[in-house]
A and B are shown apart, each in its own frame.
Chain A
Amino acid sequence: MSDAVVLARGVGKVFGAGAARVEALTGIDLRIDQGEFISLIGPSGCGKSTLLRLIGDLLQPSTGELIVNGKEPRQARLDRDYGIVFQQATLLDWRTVRANVELPLEIMGVPKEERQARATEMLSLVQLQDFADHHPWQLSGGMQQRVAIARALSFRPALLLMDEPFGALDEMTRELMQQEVLRIWTETETTVVFVTHSIPEAVFLSTRVVVMSPRPGRISQVVDVPLPHPRDVDTRESDDYYRLITEVREALRRGEER
């Protein structure tokens, strides 16, 4: 049996108190094994981003138990067990592309030479080696997001957390980026937790899709995606792909009705 990278038992999260009390998440039970690609999908307010932030120790659960890489989430964060990518690339404007990728390594005290080598390696992984000395504002949205992925992976974390990373991109760029992420996932063998509200995106990328529903935020169904790898344009045109999209869509609808 492979190791659980994320293990949640009865995890809940409450924001505010009294009249302003909002139950963002309740009774989350989830196990994510090493090497999986998990999508969290659901309508606004279903707590998918909250769950991602709990795993990343950017928020703390109100109830239940959460284990990341065999530790408390806080310890996992301090051990730099995960890299995170947001919807906005969040690159630092005053740094070059290369220096942005080096930022986490700099913070971790990695020696300069190793930093440079790692940045070079990561930039070729996301195929931006020719743009190392550019500044973020000189890049397109898709390229900026690839820099953000290179940065998140620069210190080789066991887990990659992605919060609607392609939400701000146009459809064409988005499909290319999905292909990129799958390639990177295969090459690096990183476990990925991916928040999205796009059904085709979730199905195309994932090994399992976690369908969530709101008020209170909870997991309503987990859909296995047994599509073969490597996935490409043909995958997007296969019957299994459409069948799985329908399955996720219906799971979402059932979650809304309950």
Chain B
Amino acid sequence: MTDAPEVVSTASRRSPRVRRVVGFLGVLAVVVVAWELYKVVGEALGGVVPGTELRLRPPPNDRFMPHTWDVVLQLFQPVRRNGELTVLLLAKAAMFTLREALVGFVVGGVIGFGLGVAFVRSTLAERAFMPYVVASQTVPIIAIAPMVVVWGGQLDVPQWLSVAIIAAYLTFFPVTINTVRGLRSPAPTAVEMMRSYAATPSQVLWKLQVPAALPYIFTALKVSATASVIGAIVGELPAGFRDGLGRALLEFSQQFNVKKLMAAVLMSALAGILFVAAVTWFEHRLVAGDHRREG
């Protein structure tokens, strides 16, 4: 009998992590080089496609495409004369936005999970509500955001909470869809097995379905983490917050300052990456056997 257990290797745990960092930096280097190459070649060609009068889009000049190092340097220059360093302003803005996003993420995640459970429990509920859930996601967030802020204002809801609600609106949908899928993922025999133990519906849910659904739910949470940041940024615009990334992005684009805008984009991306990394950290701790699939 082949009874020897397969040994799960832990020896080569460090090298994939190193490889991941190298990969990340490699892609960054390629993007920077491509960007700068486009500028150099484009300017040498006088900003037009060779042999035609067609102008290169985007124009390869410093106004539209600042040097990558200028974007980085911008981070360490004041936003305005005698003002704060750009990086400080953006970091504060990112923290502000992340806080709204986090509240929205948690609220949306809980609602999304709850809807998923309800849909799996009751086909009637799924039939009745799923079309609305889907429809809700086809309405552009820029249409919803001002309504939420205006209604929230009339109900004396703090503005940051209105923004969090907008973030939650983008968060819950992937969680619902994946929760439904995950809760239905156990094999029919696993469900029969629970039935043979005369398990109650809530025992089936918490001992079988939810653990089986966790990998699905975490996939959704990673999508939702980024979506909640976008929701918070978009939600800040009608709210007129001065403190968040949304306002910074809007201001810089209105000033047509591409350098500052790019810096703000970098910071937004960083916020999103941090958020997803945090979710992944929890995933590795909560989803047992995960290391087996990832090798």
Q: Which A residues are closer than 8 A to B by beta carbons?
A: 53, 56-58, 77-80, 82-84, 86, 88, 90, 92-95, 103-104, 106-108, 131, 134-135, 137-140, 142-143, 155, 172-173, 176
Interface pair A135/B289, CB less than 8 Å apart: yes
Q: How far is the CB of B290 from chain A (nearest CB, A)?
A: 9
Docked complex Cα distance between A10 and B195 (Å): 25
Interface pair B187/A92, CB less than 8 Å apart: no
Docked complex Cα distance between A3 and B193 (Å): 26
> Residue on A with the closest CB to B198?
A78
- Evaluate whether A90 and B193 lie within 8 angstroms (CB atoms) in the complex, with A140-B3, A142-B1, A143-B3 already known: yes
Partner of B195, one of A77, A88, A92, A95: A77
Q: Mark B1-20, 1 if CB is under 8 A from A, else 0.
A: 11111101000000000000
* Among B78-86, B132-140, B203-211, B221-229, the stretch in contact with A: B203-211
- Evaluate whether A80 and B198 lie within 8 angstroms (CB atoms) in the complex, with A92-B208, A92-B211 already known: yes
Interface pair B198/A77, CB less than 8 Å apart: yes
In the bound complex, residues from chain A placing their C-beta under 8 Å from that of B5 are 131, 134, 138-140
Interface pair B196/A84, CB less than 8 Å apart: yes
Interface pair B6/A104, CB less than 8 Å apart: no
Interface pair A84/B192, CB less than 8 Å apart: yes
Max count, chain A CB within 10 A of own CB: residue among B198, B203, B208: B198
Docked complex Cα distance between A77 and B5 (Å): 35
Interface pair B187/A138, CB less than 8 Å apart: no
In the bound complex, residues from chain B placing their C-beta under 8 Å from that of A84 are 192-193, 196
Docked complex Cα distance between A107 and B206 (Å): 11
Interface pair B198/A94, CB less than 8 Å apart: no
Interface pair A137/B289, CB less than 8 Å apart: yes
In the bound complex, residues from chain B placing their C-beta under 8 Å from that of A92 are 190, 208, 211-212
Whether a CB of chain A sits under 8 angstroms from the CB of B197 is yes
Interface pair B1/A140, CB less than 8 Å apart: yes
Q: A78-B198, A92-B190 are in contact. List 6 more A-B contacts (CB 8 A).
A: A56-B196, A77-B195, A90-B189, A104-B197, A134-B5, A176-B1
Interface pair B197/A107, CB less than 8 Å apart: yes
Whether a CB of chain A sits under 8 angstroms from the CB of B40 is no
Interface pair A82/B187, CB less than 8 Å apart: no
Docked complex Cα distance between A142 and B2 (Å): 8
Within 8 A of A (CB), among B137-191: 187, 189-190
Interface pair B288/A107, CB less than 8 Å apart: no
In the bound complex, residues from chain B placing their C-beta under 8 Å from that of A172 are 1
Pair count A-B, CB < 8 A:
78
Docked complex Cα distance between A203 and B208 (Å): 36
In the bound complex, residues from chain B placing their C-beta under 8 Å from that of A82 are 196
Docked complex Cα distance between A25 and B192 (Å): 20
> Residue on B with the closest CB to A105?
B197
The interface size bin for chain B is 20 to 34
Partner of A138, one of B8, B192, B208, B287: B8
In the bound complex, residues from chain A placing their C-beta under 8 Å from that of B212 are 92
Interface pair B187/A88, CB less than 8 Å apart: yes
Docked complex Cα distance between A53 and B196 (Å): 10
Whether a CB of chain A sits under 8 angstroms from the CB of B278 is no
In the bound complex, residues from chain A placing their C-beta under 8 Å from that of B198 are 77-80, 107
> Residue on A with the closest CB to B193?
A90
Interface pair A107/B203, CB less than 8 Å apart: yes
Interface pair B193/A86, CB less than 8 Å apart: yes
Q: List 18 A-B contacts (CB under 8 A).
A: A53-B192, A77-B198, A78-B198, A79-B198, A84-B196, A86-B193, A88-B187, A90-B187, A93-B288, A104-B197, A107-B203, A107-B207, A137-B6, A138-B5, A140-B3, A143-B3, A155-B197, A172-B1
Within 8 A of A (CB), among B258-295: 287-289, 292
In the bound complex, residues from chain B placing their C-beta under 8 Å from that of A83 are 196
> Residue on A with the closest CB to B195?
A58
Top 6 closest A-B pairs, CB basis? A94-B288, A138-B5, A86-B189, A104-B197, A84-B196, A140-B2
Interface pair A88/B189, CB less than 8 Å apart: yes
- Evaluate whether A103 and B196 lie within 8 angstroms (CB atoms) in the complex, with A172-B1, A176-B1 already known: no
Docked complex Cα distance between A63 and B77 (Å): 84
Max count, chain A CB within 10 A of own CB: residue among B197, B203, B207, B289: B197
Docked complex Cα distance between A82 and B197 (Å): 9
Whether a CB of chain A sits under 8 angstroms from the CB of B199 is yes
In the bound complex, residues from chain A placing their C-beta under 8 Å from that of B195 are 57-58, 77
